[in-house]
Amino acid sequence: MNKEEKKALVSFLSIYMLSALVLISIIALLYYNRGIVSIGDQCSIQMRNASLVVEKELMQAQMDKKTYKFNPPSNSELRLGLFDKNGKILYSNLKDNKIFFSKKAYKNNRHEYHVHKLNTPILGVSYIVAENDGNQSEKIKLLSIIFSTIAAAVIFILLIGFLLSKILLKPIKQRIKKLNRFIRDSSHELNTPVSALIMSASSVKNSKELNPRVLNHISVSAKLISQIYNTLSFVAFNDIDERYDEKFDLKDLVEESVRFFDEIVKSRGNSIKCSLQSTVVYLDKSRMQKVINNLLSNALKYSFPKTPIEVILKDHTLCVINEGEGIDEEDQKAIFKRFERRNKNEGGFGIGLDIVQNVCDEYGIKIEVESIPNQKTTFFLIFPKTH
């Protein structure tokens, strides 16, 4: 993972975790507040029930004419105090015996209180006071559950975030890899004709007479550079280039492309055979020229040495046929994807057939591929008929 990828990963995880933590914190706070309210209600019920139990015991002792025996609650957080009508302590295990008898329920910084006033004194008891620590153990348990859940959620979210970032970065890494290969291939593709031009120019400069062979090299190199430029410019500016659709004879355009490639084809020991019928279409000439050029360039690139390339135009169908290794059936769809090349040993950028696909999709031209391994490959362009 390079520096930029690490930076992108850290940025993504930081934003992802920060937003997740904010959301988790809000949920945790709402859950804590709800839990505190529930604990408070539970505490009030405990104190009220404890007071009623003591009142019942007092009444039972009075009816049985027995001495009341004070039994402190088994709950260590709950304590009771019994007071007479003047607020004097009769029985108590309260931690704070200063009680506000005018209030039914109140709390201070340390404890909560429930004051139960009897309608009539029983065995001298007029007030039953329950004291509670506020169920601190329950609050600590609640906080423990919340923090444990948050910690588990953070670990889980971090793991999911990391996996998501890897999934999101994977196509970007593949794209960058393809772009780096594209730049490398571009440099290599341009280097060959540029080197040939430099050598040819040097030869012309040092020679008193113009050598036809040298001029041919210059012409071929210039055409290769022109083809590379046209391919790259289409990829770069296709989105902003305007279309100029018009009626024209496709036969003339094909012948123009064949003448353009004739020297290049001959320089590699191949040839082009044409069988063309007049075919009127309504398209953008410039775009269509690039389609034909890329098909011819692709056919030449993957042809066996000294084999012909056939170009047939009839019944609104253009066929470009070459003899070569062929294309596997599983690769016949992949070859139209940008930067895809079925043969890494051959030159090219992997964008020629992508251009063909884009233009054909734009004009509703159907593309078909037929290939026989180690024999021949045929590209069919079926044009819609112009009325």
DSSP letter for 80, please.
Answer: E
- Rounded Cα distance between 55 and 43, Å, is 19
pLDDT of residue 335: 75
Average pLDDT over residues 313-341: 79
Average pLDDT over residues 323-329: 83
- Residue 266: Cβ within 10 Å count: 13
pLDDT of residue 113 exceeding 50, the answer is yes
* Mean model confidence pLDDT for the chain: 80
pLDDT of residue 276: 93
Q: Yes or no: say if 181 and 21 are a contact pair by the CB < 8 Å rule.
A: no
Of 321, 302, 323, 325, give the one whose Cα is nearest residue 312.
321
| Domain termination site, one of 134, 168, 195 | 134
Q: Note whether 127 and 253 are same-domain residues.
A: no
Q: Yes or no: say if 77 and 93 are a contact pair by the CB < 8 Å rule.
A: no
Confidence band of 340 (pLDDT split at 50, 70, 90): low
Domain annotation covers residue 191: no
Three-state DSSP class for 367?
strand
pLDDT of residue 311: 94
- 25-34, 36-45, 142-151, 302-311: which has the minimum mean pLDDT? 36-45
Domain annotation covers residue 157: no
- Rounded Cα distance between 305 and 289, Å, is 25
Domain annotation covers residue 180: no
Confidence band of 240 (pLDDT split at 50, 70, 90): very low
pLDDT of residue 343: 53
Of 91, 88, 113, 82, give the one whose Cα is nearest residue 100.
113
pLDDT of residue 194 exceeding 50, the answer is yes
Domain annotation covers residue 308: yes
Q: Note whether 127 and 257 are same-domain residues.
A: no
**Identity of residue 325:** E
pLDDT of residue 153 exceeding 60, the answer is yes
Domain annotation covers residue 343: yes
- pLDDT above 90 covers a percentage of the chain that reads 17
Helix and strand totals (H; E) in the chain? 6, 12
Domain annotation covers residue 77: yes
Contacts of 131 (CB under 8 A, 6+ apart): 47, 78, 79, 80, 81, 94, 95, 96, 111, 112, 113
Q: Print the domain residue range for 37.
A: 3-134
| Domain termination site, one of 68, 101, 134 | 134
What's 371's domain CATH number? 3.30.565.10
Average pLDDT over residues 225-253: 72
Domain count, the chain: 2
Confidence band of 278 (pLDDT split at 50, 70, 90): very high
Domain annotation covers residue 312: yes
Q: Which of 226-230, 338-342, 351-355 has the highest mean pLDDT?
A: 351-355
Domain annotation covers residue 232: no
| Domain termination site, one of 110, 134, 158 | 134
